[in-house]
Amino acid sequence: MTLFIFDVRETLSRRVMIKADSMEEAWNEVDRMYMESEIVLNTDDFKEMEILWIE
């Protein structure tokens, strides 16, 4: 019997709108929100699944 290895990947994605004076400020705000769990991706944010053959 042969051993096959696969990588199963799921992509979660959510668009977030931020008002800010600069891209850096907006980026920092989204990063802060994510790190402080104000943005938590879940099954509602599912976009795609793929299976990749590794070896």
- Contact partners, residue 10, CB within 8 Å, separation at least 6: 46, 48, 49
28 domain-assigned = yes
32 domain-assigned = yes
49 domain-assigned = yes
In this prediction, residue 19 carries a pLDDT of 98
What confidence tens digit (pLDDT) does each residue in 6-42 have?
A: 999 999 999 999 999 999 999 999 999 999 999 999 9
In this prediction, residue 47 carries a pLDDT of 98
Domain boundaries, position 24: 6-53
The widest CA-to-CA distance across the chain, in whole angstroms, is: 61
- Extract the tokens encoding 13: 């994605």
Rg (CA), the chain: 17
Q: Domain count of the chain?
A: 1
47 domain-assigned = yes
Round to whole Å and give the CA distance between 33 and 20. Answer: 14
pLDDT at 55 over 90: no
pTM: 0.76
Find residue 51's DSSP bridge partners.
8
Confidence of residue 51 (pLDDT cuts 50, 70, 90): very high
